[in-house]
Amino acid sequence: MNKIGIHFGYFNTDWDTDFIRQIDQVKRIGFDILEVAPAPLMKLSKEQRRAIRDHAEEKGIDLTFSVGLGKEYDLASADKEIRKAGIQFTLDTFDIMQEMGSTMYSGVDIGTWNQTYSYGVIDKSREWKYSIESVQEIMKSAEEKGITFAVEVVNRYESSLVNTAEEAMEYISRVGSPNCKLLLDTYHMNIEEDSFEKAIQLAGGSLAHFHVGEPNRRPPKPDGRMPWDEITGALKSIHYEGAIVMEPFIKMGGEVGRDIKVWRDISKGAQTEEMERLAAVSVKMFREKMQP
């Protein structure tokens, strides 16, 4: 049975948070996974990270990592020093993942998040070349540490590099590492793909991680706008055994609202109890739909 998770940003307005409290929270709701980001954890001591790892293990919660690289870490940059900084940031993250017992690294991890071309580009080959060379260097460490590096397919407004499953399959083929896989996300697929089913089936065995959310980034729900039967049916058709991680963002304000671009209160004033209830509905739905 697929493990079900949620991104820690759903409950927060800022990226720094009390991860131990959130582990308790997601366990209570019924999740198996808390997806975290490297930057907040880098600010903590080894002892603090160890405490988070130990608490997660005690509660039976897995930790997966998701990143949105800043422009100072752009692995596709023409500036060699920026690429070097991005490689080092990723390798430092891998060290933290080893400390915390995590093996899944995903997100906008091959180039800058929330940055696109500022002119009418017709050829991405230069940026692909720089990005692929950077990732190939990173993959040496990923393979040694047993870390899966999942390339997220994101929409055209958040990244220029890889916008469809077809592009991502070509990208990971060029990287050429068994640890370089794919992450599909229904929010982005809704914008870019012609078919949820065909994109998932194209990814096939290369699909290592899967994000879910409604088109307006609300938590998934049975009466939502996403064709969840088509999506979960496609996942089952490729015998997908990886995680299904919710990535809803519905609160204005703070770093999270700014970075995700939440410019209205999508939650309609929901407090913690209602936020948890909405998430619990999603968990129940995916457990039922992913039954054999």
Integer Cα distance of 61 and 55 in angstroms = 8
Please give the DSSP secondary-structure letter assigned to residue 159: B
Residue segments in the chain with a per-residue pLDDT below the cut of 70 = none
Token code pair at residue 165: 């499953």
CA angle 209, 15, 283 (to 5 degrees): 45
The encoded tokens of residue 150 equal 């999942």
Look up 193 and say whether it is catalytic. no
Q: How far is CA 249 from CA 126, 130, 154, 165, 198, in A?
A: 33, 32, 16, 23, 26
Q: What local confidence, expressed as pLDDT, does residue 289 receive?
A: 98
Write down the pTM of the prediction.
0.97
What pLDDT score does 144 carry? 98
Task: Calculate what percentage of the chain has a pLDDT beyond 90.
Answer: 99
pLDDT of residue 83: 98
Task: Give the pLDDT confidence of 250-272 residue by residue, as tens digits.
Answer: 999 999 999 999 999 999 999 99
pLDDT at 158: 97
User: What is the per-residue pLDDT across 155-198, written as a single tens digit (0 to 9) for each?
Assistant: 999 999 999 999 999 999 999 999 999 999 999 999 999 999 99
Catalytically annotated residue among 127, 152, 158, 214: 152
Residue type, 95: D
Whole-angstrom Cα Rg for the chain: 18
Gap between the Cα atoms of 231 and 214, Å rounded: 12
Indicate if 158 belongs to the active site.
no
